[in-house]
Structure 1
């Protein structure tokens, strides 16, 4: 009995150590891969919560904090596109959905930006500082649907709007369980039949 317990404890320790090493390696390499974003979708009753995390380079072509007026304009334009969730992610008309809330911001390893700065300091010198982080866009949306049972699919214009984006890893959670899928430029449609 002791041999079995010792063997199980060693196996658990080995798996835990491997998982921690993998997590450390992932943090050292950065939290994302260029061209790949993550879309989480949770459906509860008539409410859909969606969250998108995508590398800045996928959305605007660079990963650092905007340093020029042109880059700032690109970021603002991207935020406007990301705010309009039902133009970006098309749900079946029969589901009768409307967007209730949207929040879009940029984040990097050091701090979050996206909220307005109320304090006064030299933005020029900050913009000139190199950023070693990996900036990413983070968007969250709340959508309500009058007929959620009609959510049989989702089609995206994400790849049309953001030229650097190649892949979305999608995680869907409903009352029936969880499922994972991928959306790509060649396959911009997600089948939700059987998931709802």
Structure 2
């Protein structure tokens, strides 16, 4: 009976990990402008079995060099080019070849952030109006040899000139860890988290 309870607890923990990222994505879709820090993005990673779920949120300034909603043809083209680059997740976030990973899904959006009524911004003092844009990407990756996922290297900082720092949150069945990837250290050690 104890083994069945342990298996049930493991299954519930696994389910919680897989459910967490969509909930975070939904929350991000509805969030209002909070502390806006250029140069800093967030990368959430959930790993279970052979599946890796990732969510990236980054200010528009970091990705395309402007934070307002694209209005000119050149700006719109820059947004589309950036979305295409971000959609190629295994080029932006490189996993070891030995892990035999492939992209199952990649969804990249350019979203508007809005002010709460009464808030002001240096760029525009009209509360409730869209002020900034951010990039939001979600990915599902499967790996043929998940035990070989011992690290990750990113081209994010070379692909996107404004990116300076990614705050990384990793969730696995073993627990949660936090790390940072930067221009000076564009790697993430995943040894022992599987």
Report matched runs for 1:100-139 at 5 Å.
100-110=104-114, 132-139=130-137
Between structure 1 and structure 2, the one with the greater Rg is: 1
**RMSD of equivalent CA atoms:** 1.8
What is the aligned partner in structure 1 of residue 18 from structure 2?
A: none
CA displacement, residues 107-164 of structure 1 (integer Å, 9 cap, x when unaligned): 1124xxxxxxxxxxxxxxxxxxxx6522100000000001111110000000000000
What is the aligned partner in structure 1 of residue 65 from structure 2?
A: 61
Task: Please tell me whether the aligned partners of residues 30 and 134 of structure 1 are also in contact (alpha carbons under 8 angstroms).
Answer: no
- CA–CA distance in 2 between the matches of 1:148 and 1:32? 35
- CA–CA distance in 2 between the matches of 1:161 and 1:109? 23
Residue 81 of structure 2 is aligned to residue 83 of structure 1: no
Structure 2 gaps of 5+ residues are 1-30, 115-128
| Alignment TM-score, normalising by the size of structure 2 | 0.74
- CA–CA distance in 1 between the matches of 2:70 and 2:192? 43
User: How many residues align structurally?
Assistant: 151
- CA–CA distance in 1 between the matches of 2:178 and 2:92? 20
Structure 1 gaps of 5+ residues are 1-26, 111-130
Residue 102 of structure 2 is aligned to residue 98 of structure 1: yes
SS in 2 for 1:54: strand
SS in 2 for 1:76: helix
- CA–CA distance in 1 between the matches of 2:176 and 2:57? 19
Task: Please tell me whether the aligned partners of residues 69 and 131 of structure 2 are also in contact (alpha carbons under 8 angstroms).
Answer: no
